Structure 1
């Protein structure tokens, strides 16, 4: 992503996982885990939306970390439909909290990554230690059984998304009374609209 990105490998539940770490300027104020889109459709941790989320959190002063899911890049194992990926993300969180034990945690994801992070948040909540906030971009509602999420979750979706129709996201968000930020003219991958994701996350984070 840039010269300051540090690559490392950690042990996941099904083998080695390729990870990347980006540090903010100065003392970090939080830890953000960012999850990439579907591995079977070309999703990697270097996806542009994923990288945009990383940049947003670094701008907010967060340590931002991501991984290639099983079977992507140098990560071992095979795709596990979100179950193993959630396990691996939980292991990454534990690994990072050993290095940054006192920082608040944020979870962010794009597309399939939203399913993983919503499941991780549900797991953390059951353990009594939920993340402070979620950012879900292109939420995989309708395609996956995405759990309910906290009221302060930031939801961003493209108006013209033909992978995950906006109507499906509304149907998922409506019973939870969750606002959805819609980017006019944006497709699923936010082509030429990426700056809106970063700008909105940075702007609304402290509200």
Structure 2
């Protein structure tokens, strides 16, 4: 789920299972929420089962199995991109900006105390997503943050070059605080477009088992 949310957060959306002691979590439920510009949840949550394509937890788990194979071809290139940037001994902000320039979005996961405990890379060019630990121990959140230069430099806003390409291709506009789009509309847009990039053979095999729309 963190890997999926690394992509969804670029569109101010998050998939949420609730707390571990909640009924929703225990029954494998899933909802989608809109986020404001500060990453805070806003609006009314939408059940996964009520969204076009039904991106429920069970649906996503099946997608994860397929994507585990599809993304392997992109793993080494992503590691090379990260390694080249680390050679410059960047600060955390410089690291994020440099990867953003390559179309790679970095999401640092923090606990309630603000401590970083996880990192996810969303490569918008190859449409693949990896948790740092999936790339190797050297790419875990702890290993990377320990190696960042501690020099204080002004943080600049990180842009995602991929957004313009995605907008031009799908007609989708990024959510604004004006609330032009709902979480449901955004998820429908993603579900409708991502099937275009799955190899024909894989699509045919999946359709034989069960007809369903799929996302990356």
State whether TM-score is above 0.5: no
TM superposition score normalised by structure 1: 0.25
Relative contact order, CA 8 A, sep 6+: which one is greater? 2
Answer with 1 or 2: which has the greater Rg.
2
TM superposition score normalised by structure 2: 0.24
Q: Pick the structure with more helix per residue.
A: 2
